[in-house]
Structures are given as C-alpha cells and as structure tokens.
Amino acid sequence: MNIESLEVYIVDLPTIRPHQLAMHTIVMQTIILVCVKGEGDLEGWGEVATIGGASYFEETPEAIKVNIEKYIAPHVIGKNPAHFDAIAYTVNQHVVGNRFAKAAVEAAVVDLAARSRGIPAYELFGGQIHTSLPIAWTLASGDTRRDIEEAQESLNAKRHNIFKLKIGVGDPKRNVAHVLAIKEAVGEAASIRVDVNQAWDEVTALYCIEALQDGGVDLIEQPLISWNKEGMARLTSKFNVPIMADESLSSIEQAFQVAKKRAGNVFAIKPAKAGGLTAAKKVAAIAEAAGIGLYGGTMIESSLGTAIAAQLYSTIPEMKYGTELFGPLLFTDTITANAIVYENFQIVVPSGPGFGMEMDKEKIFHYARDL
C-alpha cells in the first residue's frame, strides 16, 4: 500500500479559560491536522499545535500548511507508509528545518502504517511499557485563592496531583509569593512546579529560584532564554531543585548540546519541537545516556495530538517527572469521536489501531479555517 494523497487543515479550538504564557495568552488554540490516505477508505491523521502565531516559535500555522503542501508532500505521496523512517530521511534531505511541519506529516504516516496492520502505533516504536502516565495541570487564573481552590478540587477528584504555574509575566517577586502560597496550601499532597518560558535574566533567576527551592517547589522550567545554555548550566550546578530545559531543546543537535553543557538536568520532550516521533525518541535516548530525567511536554494539543504524544511516551522506559498532556481538558470541544481518559492522577494511553483516536470530520470542518 502506498500513500495516495495528503491534506492539511488549520483548526482553531476555543479554550475553557485564558491560558497565559510569558509570550502569549491562549483563548483560541491553533492546531494543524494532516490526513494521508491509502487504499480504499484507509486514512492516517497527524497533528501539531502552535502557540501565539509567531510569538512562540518561528513556524506559524500558515507557514506549516504551505510548506507541507508545497515542499514536503511531494516526497511523501506514492511512498509506503510502513517506511516512515525512510520517508522522514528523504524529507530531511530536501527540506531544512520545519520541524513542526515534519512532525505533523510523520505522525499521519505512522498512523496510516499502524492502521494498515490493525495495531497501535506504539508497536512501531518498540512496544508499550506504560499503560498510563502521571498527568500535570496548569493553574493559570493568576488569583492565589482561586488557584488553591482549583488545585484542591483536582486533588479531591483524583485528576491531578502535579501542578505547574506559568510565572514569566509580571513582577517576579510577586509571582514567587503566589507560587509559595499555593505550595503551602497543598503541602505534600501535590508537586508544585513553575514554568518561566524564558522570561528571566540570570540575576532574577538566582533570587527567584533560591526562594522557590526553599519553599518546596519541585521543578523550574526554562528560566532563561533558549540560547543561554551557559547561564542554564550555571543555574543547574548551583541549585538542588531540578532545572528543566524546554525551548532550549529545539532539535536533536540542541539536545546533545544541552546534555553536553549540563544546561538542565531534566528534558521536556515534545514530538513537534524535535521534528517528529522518531526524533523525539532520539532526544529521549540522549537524555538517558546523559543521566538526565524526562518530562513529557505538550504544545497543548487536541485529543489526537495528545494521543500521539502519549503513545510515544508510553514506549520510553522512565518518564521520571511525568507528563503534561492535559490539552483536551482545556478545550470546550473535541475533534475526535472518542475521548482521552484521565483517572487516578494519570492519563490512560489510548490503544490502537493507529493512535487510537477516531476523527470527527464534521467537527474538523466546523472549526477549520477557510483558506
């Protein structure tokens, strides 16, 4: 069986509340869907999500769509989806960068390959090790009392016992006080972590990380700008609290440099950021070889993108710091006929065929842009 066609959709999904990062506040999340078709009615679907147009990453949704259709698709159509590694190699030989675009296409090809065999996609990546994974939630109201109430509600419902706070916007000292008040309220019942989204300089980071560490915060994500690996290395060596690299890991090569410089002692892996599922697993291997812990990151994908990441993460021996695959819980609607299951502080890894999700085409066309 060969791939007969490829289609790309840009879809905007509304969120249940504003989701604030240092560079953008999400009220409508943009995802890019890729559909590859084989023989008969057999289809494979892939997804990547983007944040804030060009404010987070250089690949915009519009550029991803155009570059897939014009430059990547010709190297995919007519190929056997079972040879997804060979297809990715050919694409990389002809297309520089464009990791998000490549990740979306590769996921669709993998989905088709797995569905053609009637197996879950994780079987193509060495087989499933974990049937479920710890799941974090982001507290983002900005109001301390409301965030404490939300955390306690999640704990009582056994949905989440890992909470992340985005603290890259506003006064750093006030943000630290906000985080420490939440940590004091939940105590040892939950892990409290922060994501700075590259917003601090090194002087600010020294003060804030010391206060957060002393207050019992468990993880500090990307406090410095992505290129400042030397600064990240200094912070990593100075503090006992783990420092997680996220935006610094923009490719396999960057992952090697972060590991070499010890510019973080936790990796946030993301298929889109790495350039695909195969590349993301290579990033995980670099971390394993360097003794660096792993965290399953998110670009806030829909249920399809969440299933893609969850299946890959389920094949990695140890996800020491859990995952952040909460995307479907943030949206008011879904583009799949079936839902991701969350229970007992875990995300249940969907099982096949493919990535285990059935697309709702009416919803896709409803939310798709008319381009």
| Of 61, 82, 1, residue with least CA distance to 299 | 61
Q: What is the dihedral of CA 30, 36, 41, 47, to 10 degrees?
A: -30
Instruction: Give the integer Cα–Cα distance in Å for 101 and 274.
Output: 11
Q: What does the radius of gyration of the chain's CA atoms come to, in whole angstroms?
A: 20
Q: Please name which of 44, 55, 60 lies closest in space to residue 98, comparing C-alpha atoms.
A: 60
236, two tokens: 């990593």
From 104, 108, 8, select the one nearest 50 (Cα to Cα). Answer: 104
Residues labelled as active-site residues: 166
Peptide bond into 353 cis (omega under 30): yes
The contacts of residue 298 (CB under 8 Å, 6+ apart) are: 270, 306, 309, 323, 324, 325, 326, 327
Integer CA distances (angstroms), 35 to 10, 31, 86, 279, in order: 12, 13, 19, 20
DSSP structure class, residue 220: E
Q: Are 162 and 135 in contact (CB under 8 A)?
A: yes
Closest of 58, 60, 73 to residue 8, by C-alpha: 73
Helix, strand, coil percent values for the chain (each to nearest 5): 40, 20, 35
Q: How many angstroms separate the CA atoms of 296 and 249, rounded? A: 13
